[in-house]
Amino acid sequence: MINVELKDIANLCKRRGFIFQDSEIYGGIGSVWDYGPLGVELKNNVKARWWKSMVYDRDDVEGLDAAILMNPETWKASGHVESFADLLVDCKGCKKRFRIDLLKGKECPECGGELTEPRSFNLMFKTQVGSVEGQTHDVYLRPETAQGIFVNFENILTSSRRKLPFGVAQTGKAFRNEITTGNFTFRSREFEQMELEFFVKPGEDEKWYDYWVNERLRWYISLGIREENLRLREHQQHELAHYAKRCHDIEFLFPMGWSELEGIANRTDYDLKQHAKISGRDLHYFDDATGQRYTPYVIEPSGGVDRAVLAFLVDAYRVETVRERKRVYLSLDKRLAPIKVAVLPLLRNKPEIVEMAHRIRDGIRGDYRVVYDDTASIGRLYRRQDEIGTPYCVTVDVDSLSDGKVTVRDRDTMEQDRIEAARVKDFMTEKLDLS
Amino acid sequence: MINVELKDIANLCKRRGFIFQDSEIYGGIGSVWDYGPLGVELKNNVKARWWKSMVYDRDDVEGLDAAILMNPETWKASGHVESFADLLVDCKGCKKRFRIDLLKGKECPECGGELTEPRSFNLMFKTQVGSVEGQTHDVYLRPETAQGIFVNFENILTSSRRKLPFGVAQTGKAFRNEITTGNFTFRSREFEQMELEFFVKPGEDEKWYDYWVNERLRWYISLGIREENLRLREHQQHELAHYAKRCHDIEFLFPMGWSELEGIANRTDYDLKQHAKISGRDLHYFDDATGQRYTPYVIEPSGGVDRAVLAFLVDAYRVETVRERKRVYLSLDKRLAPIKVAVLPLLRNKPEIVEMAHRIRDGIRGDYRVVYDDTASIGRLYRRQDEIGTPYCVTVDVDSLSDGKVTVRDRDTMEQDRIEAARVKDFMTEKLDLS
């Protein structure tokens, strides 16, 4: 069950510094977002956990960071120049434009006017490289990171001496000039993907497909998303992209309803074969063991970083009543929380307390984000940290000066432990367990 | 002293999987590069060390991750629409185009032909957002990340409740349609910046300027760049950008000569005042202590991630003769090395050795990149790891099965320690000291 509306999340995100509208002082730009001081930590933590699970914890995946600008032949080969388009109609009355698949046979919904014949509108952003007249060429901002992996297949294979099955993992920005945007960061024109292309022997693709569907579902659960808010939905034949043999969406129960968080597709050998054809390069894999040459099949778990961040925020959002007051807190997994520990001096005008609190902060910061906050009363400071999901608050009070102990407060249970100040570092290392 | 040419570095980078030409199978795109399996780790490590030193280790900096696409008013306010341009001339003879500042009063260098009057060529890439005719607008790919910080100044100040002095740190892609490119990744059309905008009270700007020049120089040295390969160069008056009061470059002795690695500029209150003027928003800072309102001054250490990566590679490149054979190794700081440990079974056909080696690998991987390699003789495996800068190789041999010990080889000294297999994890934790 999800008990929060998107506007509450958007409001918290702006107020606390998770997510701001891009160039807001100029009225924004339409479905582009900036990650503020807390948002950048949360997003980086999501990407770091993904990278760890995909690259560091495994023995069969290489990483990659390919550029956003690519030779435009890439998008001819991939089919994006031809097919990555929405069918649009214009209303001859009000002059507005609509996606025909969303009109569902209706007339122009606003003015009832007559519609033009549908025209294809490509979703790729285009720009020009080069400065010499007659020698500039059109290039696209990549609409998916996946192609950066396919065009590097040969280079990665050669330099890493990999054998099938193996994968290539990548996170990075992609861009789509969407007609229909909205739902906060859910559908943005600039967004970040985390994609794995896992190359397998043809015939072993179904087995690996099942493996990755389960593995990716497990990943979200392992980072705290409640199982009842996740479901798998298999694409029907008519929904499949031109390159896909099968596709499952991992859907999350967003406030606006079940929506795609990640897609796992069996892309077959489509992309590598297309690139081999258009580039003229040999992109076969030579199988030492059998002496066969073939084009690998590809299983692709493709997640949206922004959607994952939004889902983690939505799922972690909790409201409860404590002593007749409303308490809002984010029950984020400790590994995802933007700030791990807040050190709070109970009296900011008492130099010994301030000094002790600074010493504690200095002792634990460096490996993760620790804040020191003395700008409000302790009740308000706790509420702030609750609302941004900080797992632990360490409070230094007058008694600390005599007994050398501090209060450690747990975000979820609100239980308070009194521990030796000298033990704070070990306590956090043990409790946060960030490895 | 630098004893390596760029082509040797580029060659190693391609062969071992650090850096590939972008969309190479299609002939590339001109000064755009992809980071391969080792390059992405090195680059991420550089960014992580920067983030740690800027955000986690300090108490006066917030992070940010603003979008690449911004409202175009941003670039009018910043002066980029007006001034971010090269003056170009065309040769009427050979039709080629040249930057006038590089011709230095010479005639057309290739054919001696007559030159046209100089014209201004803006370096920003332009694209269009929106799909409705008459409602699309031109937007630019950001040519610097800095403006994302300035337009978010108010949102960050409000949500973080910061007081001056404080900074905002950001890493991210930027794009410039350069006329003159080249020197491998040194000047690319798509590149990544790591920028801090540090906001200070006017009058304290000179003090903080000096602080950041020294601090940034120290950072490169702390990560292993040899002091004799770094120097500071202050910009002369005519070199200063339109917003700058002072600027120092940190230069590195690249193979093509001393070149800029990072610039530290005193941007004064130029940007915030411009954005206040064009947006109509109040971007003053209210100083509680004095009751004054003023526009903060900004000190900006602006580094290139790609240039830093290139400098670390160049500086770490070592060639020596060992037993009459040439040994090439990268003496990268352990915290930057893409792979921290390689586990090598001396005999890949002996199951007990393979099993023991797997166990050791499984015991240490997860927090950083560990590889297992059995695809060549031990001498060749060591050479591979040397050339990619892996600090430690752990070798499992026949004796290991009886005495439970393994050989740990140090990359720089080539010294070999025999240690208990059970101690490998602690050994690495201690030696790598990644915090």
The predicted structure's pLDDT at residue B317 = 97
Find the range with the poorest average confidence among A157-161, A199-203, A225-229, B115-119. Answer: B115-119
Nearest to B427 by CA among B413, B411, B406: B406
Mean pLDDT of the region B341-361:
95
Confidence of residue A118 (pLDDT cuts 50, 70, 90): confident
Kindly tell me if the per-residue pLDDT of A92 is higher than 90. Answer: no
Does the distance separating the beta carbons of B37 and A63 come in below 8 Å? Answer: yes
Does the distance separating the beta carbons of A37 and B160 come in below 8 Å? Answer: yes
Assembly ipTM: 0.95
Does the distance separating the beta carbons of A127 and B127 come in below 8 Å? Answer: yes
Does the distance separating the beta carbons of B133 and A73 come in below 8 Å? Answer: no
Give me the DSSP letters along A23-62: TGGGT--SS-EEE-HHHHHHHHHHHHHHHIIIIIS-SSEE
What pLDDT, in 10s, does the model give residues A213-242? 999 999 999 999 999 999 999 999 988 888
* CATH 3.40.50.800 domain span(s) along chain A: 339-432
The minimal CB distance from A67 to the residues B33, B159, B170 is found for B33
What pLDDT, in 10s, does the model give residues B385-416? 999 999 999 999 999 999 999 999 999 999 99
The predicted structure's pLDDT at residue A90 = 80
Q: What percent of chain B has pLDDT over 90?
A: 82
Mean pLDDT of the region A127-155:
89
The minimal CB distance from B37 to the residues A36, A132, A160 is found for A160
Q: What percent of chain A has pLDDT over 70?
A: 97
Question: Which chain A residues touch B435 with a CB distance below 8 Å?
Answer: 366-367
Does the distance separating the beta carbons of B141 and A14 come in below 8 Å? Answer: no
Kindly tell me if the per-residue pLDDT of B110 is higher than 80. Answer: no
Kindly state the tokens that stand for A432. Answer: 């946060």
Mean pLDDT of the region A135-157:
95
Distance of CA A277 to the CA centre of its chain: 33
Q: What is the CA radius of gyration of chain B?
A: 25
Alpha-carbon distance of B350 to B374, in angstroms, equals 12
Instruction: Please give the residue of chain A at the shortest CA–CA distance from B66.
Output: A34
The minimal CB distance from A22 to the residues B70, B189, B367 is found for B70
Q: What is the biggest distance separating any 2 CA atoms in chain A, rounded to whole angstroms?
A: 82
Alpha-carbon distance of B110 to B97, in angstroms, equals 11
Distance of CA A98 to the CA centre of its chain: 28
* CATH 3.30.930.10 domain span(s) along chain B: 6-77+124-313
Does the distance separating the beta carbons of A41 and B66 come in below 8 Å? Answer: no
Tell me the three state secondary structure of residue A122.
strand
Mean pLDDT of the region B151-155:
98
Nearest to B61 by CA among A71, A369, A309: A369
The CATH code belonging to domain B6-77+124-313 is: 3.30.930.10
Q: What is the dihedral of CA B35, B36, B42, B47, to 10 degrees?
A: 40
The predicted structure's pLDDT at residue A383 = 95
Amino acid identity, residue B422?
A: A
Question: Which chain B residues touch A128 with a CB distance below 8 Å?
Answer: 125-126, 177
Does the distance separating the beta carbons of A370 and B62 come in below 8 Å? Answer: no
Alpha-carbon distance of B289 to B281, in angstroms, equals 23
Kindly tell me if the per-residue pLDDT of A368 is higher than 60. Answer: yes
Find the range with the poorest average confidence among A114-123, A311-320, B209-218. Answer: A114-123
Nearest to A391 by CA among A429, A355, A359: A429
Kindly tell me if the per-residue pLDDT of B95 is higher than 90. Answer: no
Alpha-carbon distance of A44 to A67, in angstroms, equals 19
Confidence of residue A133 (pLDDT cuts 50, 70, 90): low
Instruction: Please give the residue of chain B at the shortest CA–CA distance from A374.
Output: B161
Does the distance separating the beta carbons of A96 and B29 come in below 8 Å? Answer: no
Confidence of residue B366 (pLDDT cuts 50, 70, 90): confident
Give A3→chain B minimum CA distance, Å: 25
Q: What is the CA radius of gyration of chain A?
A: 25
Alpha-carbon distance of A281 to A158, in angstroms, equals 14
Summary mean pLDDT of chain A: 93
Mean pLDDT of the region B349-356:
95
The predicted structure's pLDDT at residue B132 = 64
The predicted structure's pLDDT at residue B247 = 97
Q: What percent of chain B has pLDDT over 70?
A: 97
Tell me the three state secondary structure of residue B401.
helix
Question: Which chain A residues touch B34 with a CB distance below 8 Å?
Answer: 64-67, 148, 152
What pLDDT, in 10s, does the model give residues A284-309? 999 998 999 999 999 999 999 999 99
What pLDDT, in 10s, does the model give residues A160-200? 999 999 999 999 999 999 877 679 999 999 999 999 999 99
> CA neighbours within 13 Å on the CB side: how many for B236?
1
Kindly tell me if the per-residue pLDDT of A155 is higher than 60. Answer: yes
Give B128→chain A minimum CA distance, Å: 7
Q: Which sign, positive or negative, has the C-alpha torsion B29, B32, B34, B39? A: positive
Q: Angle formed by the axes of helices A305-316 and A37-51, to 10°?
A: 110
Confidence of residue A134 (pLDDT cuts 50, 70, 90): low
Mean pLDDT of the region A394-420:
97
Mean pLDDT of the region B208-227:
98
Summary mean pLDDT of chain B: 93
Does the distance separating the beta carbons of A372 and B71 come in below 8 Å? Answer: no
pTM of the predicted structure, to 2 decimals: 0.96
Count of positions (residues) in chain A: 435
Count of positions (residues) in chain B: 435
The predicted structure's pLDDT at residue A312 = 98
Q: What is the biggest distance separating any 2 CA atoms in chain B, rounded to whole angstroms?
A: 82
Domain A339-432 has CATH 3.40.50.800: yes
Mean pLDDT of the region A258-268:
97
Does the distance separating the beta carbons of A159 and B36 come in below 8 Å? Answer: yes
Give B52→chain A minimum CA distance, Å: 6
What pLDDT, in 10s, does the model give residues B233-278? 999 998 898 889 999 999 999 999 999 999 999 999 999 999 999 9
Mean pLDDT of the region B377-387:
96
Find the range with the poorest average confidence among A98-112, A336-350, B366-380. Answer: A98-112
Mean pLDDT of the region A12-28:
97
Does the distance separating the beta carbons of B151 and A17 come in below 8 Å? Answer: no
Kindly tell me if the per-residue pLDDT of B299 is higher than 90. Answer: yes
Instruction: Please give the residue of chain A at the shortest CA–CA distance from B36.
Output: A64
Q: Angle formed by the axes of helices A378-388 and A6-16, to 10°?
A: 120
Mean pLDDT of the region A43-70:
97
Q: Which residues of A89-108 are buried (b: 16+ CB within 10 A; e: fewer)?
A: bbbeeeeebbbeeebeeeeb
Does the distance separating the beta carbons of B35 and A70 come in below 8 Å? Answer: no
What pLDDT, in 10s, does the model give residues A404-416? 999 999 999 999 9
Does the distance separating the beta carbons of B126 and A71 come in below 8 Å? Answer: no
The minimal CB distance from A125 to the residues B52, B127, B375 is found for B127
SS3 content of chain A, % helix, strand, coil (to 5): 35, 30, 35
Which residues are bridge partners to B272 per DSSP?
none
Give A234→chain B minimum CA distance, Å: 31
Question: Which chain A residues touch B375 with a CB distance below 8 Å?
Answer: 161
